[in-house]
């Protein structure tokens, strides 16, 4: 990942396009997740849940972003990118992930049918739908699925949200033209990553491309089933790790070269280890056949 990509003429044009969508959704009061996958705090209701939400809103603001979350973005090293209105909820690296996968992945032409694996309720999932693609988005969190459905109905998009396991997709073989997964695979155990890749390959048409992004170089990852884990068998910290964890599925072949390029730039930091900085990476994998 290179922050400077968003400072180019093309990058700034993309930032303006995505930011306009984010503002449009915000003006309509529709739920969309932050870069952390959190939804905005709901309107206050007189209930225990409502009081807890109010306390969190007072402490962390409407976006629910804590001081530790801001440190995670890079702390004092963090530099915003011009043109992003709500930089706290939608940090520049979220824009970079969308920019890189859209500009360097397959060209979407309606009526393309695409899968967003693990991005339900996100700005990226909404962006895919706004392009006119028939978008199917999955997540294990029913609150995010409800948010995705609410936004789709209000915007009139061809966007469908499901509570579904990424390693057990309830879609027929060859159902999708292309697939995306934005910062999900680092949160899966090593063996689960392989099962998820095989399952996504199954539902892709031959020649369909999976575009995915992931944490790269982090000293630990937050696994969905067991919390923070620094076990080396789960970490993606080198080009060899990328090959082993993300590019070793027999049904998928790398697009754009066999080797992952590490440019040496690091932008983020974990709160418990702020001196060790890490970044994001992206790979593109084509369905064989």
Domain CATH code at residue 245: 3.40.50.150
**What average pLDDT score do residues 165-170 get?**
97
pLDDT at residue 54 in the model: 44
Domains identified in the chain, total number? 1
Average pLDDT, the chain: 91
Mean pLDDT computed over 170-183:
98
Residues 6+ apart with CB under 8 A from 46: none
pLDDT at 271 over 90: no
Q: Which domain holds residue 132?
A: 3-287
| Lookup result for tokens 């049904």 | 251
Contacts of residue 31, defined as CB under 8 A and 6 or more positions apart, other chains included, come to 39, 40, 121, 147, 150, 151
Contacts of 95 (CB under 8 A, 6+ apart): 6, 14, 15, 18, 19, 81, 84
Whether residue 65 is predicted with pLDDT greater than 70 in this model: the reply is no
Could you tell me whether strands 252-254 and 209-216 are parallel, antiparallel, or unpaired per DSSP bridges? unpaired
pLDDT band at 133 (very low <50, low <70, confident <90, very high): very high
* pLDDT value at 58 more than 50: no
For range 138-152, the mean pLDDT: 97
Instruction: Tally Cβ neighbours within 10 Å of residue 60.
Output: 18
Q: Do the beta carbons of residue 234 and residue 221 sit within 8 Å? A: yes
């Amino acid at each position: 990942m290179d922050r400077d990509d968003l400072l180019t003429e093309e990058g700034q044009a993309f930032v303006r396009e995505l930011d306009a969508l984010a503002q449009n959704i915000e003006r309509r009061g529709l739920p969309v997740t932050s870069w952390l996958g959190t939804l905005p705090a709901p309107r206050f209701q007189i209930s225990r849940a409502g009081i807890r939400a109010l306390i969190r809103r007072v402490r962390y603001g409407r976006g629910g972003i804590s001081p530790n979350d801001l440190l995670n973005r890079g702390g004092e090293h963090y530099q915003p990118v011009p043109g992003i209105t709500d930089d706290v909820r939608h940090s520049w690296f979220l824009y970079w992930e969308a920019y890189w996968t859209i500009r360097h992945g397959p060209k979407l032409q309606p009526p393309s049918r695409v899968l967003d694996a693990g991005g339900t309720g996100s700005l990226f999932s909404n962006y895919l739908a706004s392009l006119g693609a028939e978008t199917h988005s999955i997540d294990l969190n029913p609150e995010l699925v409800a948010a995705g459905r609410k936004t789709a109905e209000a915007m009139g998009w061809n966007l469908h949200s499901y509570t579904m396991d990424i390693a057990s997709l309830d879609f027929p073989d060859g159902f999708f033209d292309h697939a995306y997964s934005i910062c999900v695979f680092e949160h899966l155990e090593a063996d689960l990553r392989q099962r998820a890749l095989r399952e996504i390959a199954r539902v892709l048409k031959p020649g369909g491309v999976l575009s995915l992004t992931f944490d790269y170089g982090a000293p630990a990852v937050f696994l969905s089933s067991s919390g923070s884990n620094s076990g080396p068998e789960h970490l993606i910290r080198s080009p060899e790790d990328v090959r082993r964890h993300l590019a070793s599925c027999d049904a998928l072949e790398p697009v754009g070269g066999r080797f992952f390029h590490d440019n040496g730039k690091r932008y983020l930091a974990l709160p418990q280890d702020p001196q060790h900085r890490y970044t994001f990476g992206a790979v593109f994998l084509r369905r064989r056949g």
